[in-house]
Amino acid sequence: MQFLAEKISYIGISGKNIMRNGEIADLFEQIADVLEFKGENSFRVNAYRKSARIIREYPEDVEMLWKEDRLTEIPGVGQGIADHIMEYLKTGKIQQYQEVLSGMPEGILDLINIPNIGPKTVSLFYNRLDIKNLDDLEKEIKKGTILNLPGMGEKKIENIKKGIIFFKEKQKKKRISLGIALPIVKEIIDYMKPGVEKISACGSLRRMKETIGDIDILTTGENHKDIIETFINFPKKENIIAKGQTKASIIVKEHHLQVDLRVVDNSSYGSALLYFTGSKEHNIKLRGLAKDKGFKISEYGIFKGDEKIAGQTEESVYDVLNMQFIPPELREDRGEIEAAINHKLPHLVKINDILGDMHSHTNYSDGMDTIETMVQLAIKHGYKFIVISDHTKTSKIANGMDEEKLKKRNKEIDIIQEKYPEIKIVKAVEIDILGDGQLDYSDEILKDIEFVIGAIHQGFQKNVTERMIKAIKNPFLDIIAHPTGRLISGRKGYDINLDEVISAAVEYNVALEINAYFDRLDLNDINIIKAKNRGAMFSIGTDSHNAGMLKYMEFGISMARRGWLEKNDILNCYQWNNMPRRNKK
C-alpha cells in the first residue's frame, strides 16, 4: 500500500530536498545561548535568536538559497548571518563560534540545554560555585548551596530538578519530531523508487507518532542485492551500520538519524508491512488473537498449519481474522483490536474533511507574510475559511497588536475579504492570558473579535492551571492554544493540571487546540484521547508564521487520528457558520 508516500506527496513537504533549516536554526540558538552565558550584549544575542527563529520557519531550504546566492532574501538575514550559514554548509562548522567555544567546559552546553535553566543562571552557577556540568549541579543542589545564590528559591530549585529529569529522559531517547523525519523519508523513498516494485515507510513513522526513534522502510523488487546496494549508496548517508542479504541500516547526515531497510518478496509484502509497522504491542496482541483462532502470523504471512492463507496485503491478514482494517495511526494496543473485531472502529478524520485553518499569523504581528498572501495560500489548500489570529499587545517579542493596530488590521481584512469572496477571513487574535488570568484586551474589545484564541506566553510555571481556567470562564474565549506548552525539541511545557483544564473547557464549551506545528503537536495523541473521553471539542491550527507553514495541517490531522477523532469532534470540519462553538459572531 502506497499510503505514506501518497500522504507525503499530497502535502508536498519541502519538494526534493531535506531542509537543513532546522539544523542551522539549532546551531544559531546554541550560539545565542553561549554568547549569553559569556555575558555578551543582548543585542548580539537576540540577533542570533531572531535569525534562528526566522530560518526555522522559512519555507525554502537554506541550502538551496545558498546555492542560488539568495540567502539575504530571507527577511532579517544580513550579510553577517548569511556568511555564517555559507561557512557552515561548506565546512560543517563556523570558525568564529569554535573560538567562542574554546576554553569553555564541555558540560556547560548540557547545562544550558536543561529546561528551566537559562544561560544567565548557568553563568551564575559557574562563576559562583564552579559548576561545570550536570554532575556538579546535582551535587550542589543536594548540598543546598544553590539556595544561597541570588534569585534562587525553593520553587525555582524544584523547577530546575524537574528540568533535569526531563533533560535526562530526552538524552536517553533522542527522538525527533515526526515533522522532521517525514521529509527525510520522502527523499529516501523518491531516491529508491525507480529500482523497486513497492516501497513504504513503516514503524512509528507510518503510525505518524509524534516522535520518531528511527526510520523503517520496506520494499519489494526483483533484485534484492541491487536494492540494498542502492540504499547504502544514498548520497546523504553518513555511515553504513549494517548490510545483509535482505536488510541494511544507514545513518543519514540530517540529525544523525538511523534508517533501516528491509527487502521482502511481493507475496509477503502485506504481512511484512503489518509486522514492521508495529507497534510491537499491537503485533503481540494480534499474534495472540490469531493463535487463539488456530492461525499463525509472521512477517511472511498468515498460516494455518503449513499452509499460507494470506499476506500479500495487510487487509488480507485482518480479513482472515474477521476484523476491520486498522489504520496505522491506531495500532498502539489502545483498544483498536477489540474495536476492529466488533466492527466499531471510529471513522477517523481525513485531511479532506478539513475546511480551514484555525490559527495563523501575519505581518501584523510576528508572521512573515501579508494577510493577502496567507489568504491566497489558504484558497490553494481548498479552504473555506482561514482564522487570522495575530498576537496581542503583551506579547512584545511577537510584535503583538495594541487596540489601534487591531482596528487597522481588521480594516485591511475587510478590504481583502471583498476581493476573495470564496473564503471567509476570520478576524481573530491569539490573546495573551496574563499573570492573573485576565485576557490582554478588555471585554469591550473582545466582544467584537470573531474568534479568540487564549494562550500562555509567559510565566510558564506560575499558576498556569488557575490562569487558564479563569480565561476559560471569560465568555469571549473560544479556544485554548497549545494547552501544555511543550516543545518536542526540548521544552517541558507548563506546570499544569491538564485534567482540570479539560474539565473547565468542557463545562464552558471552549475547544482545545491541536497545534499542528511540528515542534508542538500539542495536544498530543494521549491527551486528545483523554480530552475526547471527557467530551471535549478540538480545533486544529497550524500556528503558521508564513504561508508555507499552512501545509503542517497534516501533522495536526495525524495527532487527531492517533487520538481517535472523527470529523464531528473538530471545529475545522464544520462550515464557519455551523461550528458548534461557544460564540457565534
- Point out which residues bind ligand DGT (CB under 6 A): 203-204, 212-214, 216, 275-276, 278-280, 283-284
Of 134, 9, 12, nearest to 548 by C-alpha is 12
Give the CA distances from residue 177 to residues 109, 180, 183, 406, 506, in Å, rounded to whole numbers and listed in that order: 22, 5, 11, 34, 29
Question: Which among 256-264, 308-316, 325-333, 473-481 is the span making contact with Ca ion, rule CB under 5 A?
Answer: 256-264
Helices (H) and strands (E) in the chain — how many of each? 24, 17
Place of cell 546554541: 30
Q: State in angstroms the smallest separation of the CB of 310 from ligand DGT.
A: 18
Q: Pick the closer one to ligand DGT by CB: 121 or 177.
A: 177
> What is the C-alpha to C-alpha distance for residues 526 and 523, in angstroms, rounded to an integer?
8
278 touching Ca ion, by CB under 5 A: no
Sequence-distant (6+) residues with CB within 8 A of 532 are 538, 563, 564, 565, 569
Q: State in angstroms the smallest separation of the CB of 214 from ligand DGT.
A: 4
Give the CA distances from residue 576 to residues 264, 389, 425, in Å, rounded to whole numbers and listed in that order: 48, 15, 10
> What is the C-alpha to C-alpha distance for residues 458 and 462, in angstroms, rounded to an integer?
9
Q: State in angstroms the smallest separation of the CB of 12 from Ca ion.
A: 24
Q: State in angstroms the smallest separation of the CB of 370 from ligand DGT.
A: 39
Cβ atoms of residues 270 and 315 within 8 Å: yes
> What is the C-alpha to C-alpha distance for residues 561 and 143, in angstroms, rounded to an integer?
48
Sign of the dihedral through C-alpha 512, 517, 519, 524: positive
Q: State in angstroms the smallest separation of the CB of 181 from Ca ion.
A: 9
* CA 510 to chain centroid: 23
Place of cell 567546559: 105
Residue 277 grid cell: 509497522
Of 280, 329, 281, nearest to 529 by C-alpha is 329
Q: Pick the closer one to ligand DGT by CB: 261 or 375.
A: 261
User: How many residues does this entry show for the chain?
Assistant: 585
Q: Pick the closer one to ligand DGT by CB: 105 or 213.
A: 213
> What is the C-alpha to C-alpha distance for residues 75 and 73, in angstroms, rounded to an integer?
6
> What is the C-alpha to C-alpha distance for residues 310 and 290, in angstroms, rounded to an integer?
13
Total residues contacting Ca ion by CB under 5 A comes to: 5
Q: State in angstroms the smallest separation of the CB of 525 from Ca ion.
A: 17
Q: Pick the closer one to ligand DGT by CB: 320 or 388.
A: 320
Cβ atoms of residues 216 and 242 within 8 Å: no
> What is the C-alpha to C-alpha distance for residues 86 and 66, in angstroms, rounded to an integer?
7
Judged by beta carbon distances under 5 to 8 A according to partner kind, the member of Ca ion, ligand DGT, none in contact with residue 543 is none
> What is the C-alpha to C-alpha distance for residues 40 and 35, in angstroms, rounded to an integer?
5
Q: State in angstroms the smallest separation of the CB of 552 from Ca ion.
A: 22
Q: State in angstroms the smallest separation of the CB of 301 from Ca ion.
A: 21
Q: Which of residues 209-238 bind Ca ion (CB under 5 A)?
A: 214, 216
Place of cell 520557519: 57
Judged by beta carbon distances under 5 to 8 A according to partner kind, the member of ligand DGT, Ca ion, none in contact with residue 451 is none
Q: Pick the closer one to ligand DGT by CB: 161 or 280.
A: 280
Q: State in angstroms the smallest separation of the CB of 196 from ligand DGT.
A: 19
Element (H, E) at 377: helix 371-380
Judged by beta carbon distances under 5 to 8 A according to partner kind, the member of Ca ion, ligand DGT, none in contact with residue 284 is ligand DGT
Secondary structure of residue 82 in the 3-state scheme: helix
Q: Pick the closer one to ligand DGT by CB: 296 or 582.
A: 296
Judged by beta carbon distances under 5 to 8 A according to partner kind, the member of ligand DGT, Ca ion, none in contact with residue 200 is none
Q: State in angstroms the smallest separation of the CB of 518 from ligand DGT.
A: 15
Q: Pick the closer one to Ca ion by CB: 142 or 172.
A: 172
Question: Which among 190-198, 260-268, 475-483, 548-556 is the span making contact with Ca ion, rule CB under 5 A?
Answer: 260-268
DSSP assignment letter at 549: G
> What is the C-alpha to C-alpha distance for residues 326 and 335, in angstroms, rounded to an integer?
11
Q: State in angstroms the smallest separation of the CB of 341 from ligand DGT.
A: 19
299 touching Ca ion, by CB under 5 A: no
Q: State in angstroms the smallest separation of the CB of 330 from ligand DGT.
A: 13
Q: State in angstroms the smallest separation of the CB of 425 from Ca ion.
A: 41
> What is the C-alpha to C-alpha distance for residues 369 and 364, in angstroms, rounded to an integer?
9
203 touching Ca ion, by CB under 5 A: yes
Cβ atoms of residues 175 and 211 within 8 Å: yes
Residue nearest to ligand DGT (CB): 278
Q: Pick the closer one to Ca ion by CB: 30 or 258.
A: 258
Of 161, 212, 219, nearest to 182 by C-alpha is 212
Question: Which among 5-13, 196-204, 377-385, 397-405 is the span making contact with Ca ion, rule CB under 5 A?
Answer: 196-204
Of 482, 503, 504, nearest to 493 by C-alpha is 482
> What is the C-alpha to C-alpha distance for residues 290 and 274, in angstroms, rounded to an integer?
14
Q: Pick the closer one to Ca ion by CB: 162 or 247.
A: 247
Q: Pick the closer one to ligand DGT by CB: 195 or 213.
A: 213
Q: Pick the closer one to ligand DGT by CB: 216 or 366.
A: 216
Judged by beta carbon distances under 5 to 8 A according to partner kind, the member of Ca ion, ligand DGT, none in contact with residue 97 is none
Window 153-192: contact mask with Ca ion (x via CB under 5 A):
----------------------------------------
Judged by beta carbon distances under 5 to 8 A according to partner kind, the member of Ca ion, ligand DGT, none in contact with residue 279 is ligand DGT
Among positions 187, 260, 329, 332, the unique one binding Ca ion when judged by CB under 5 A = 260
Q: Pick the closer one to ligand DGT by CB: 286 or 449.
A: 286
Q: State in angstroms the smallest separation of the CB of 277 from ligand DGT.
A: 6
Judged by beta carbon distances under 5 to 8 A according to partner kind, the member of Ca ion, ligand DGT, none in contact with residue 465 is none
Cβ atoms of residues 530 and 493 within 8 Å: no
Judged by beta carbon distances under 5 to 8 A according to partner kind, the member of Ca ion, ligand DGT, none in contact with residue 357 is none
Q: Which residues pair with 260 in a beta bridge?
A: 216, 249
Of 472, 506, 507, 468, nearest to 485 by C-alpha is 468
Q: Pick the closer one to ligand DGT by CB: 143 or 173.
A: 173
List residues near Ca ion by CB under 5 A.
203-204, 214, 216, 260
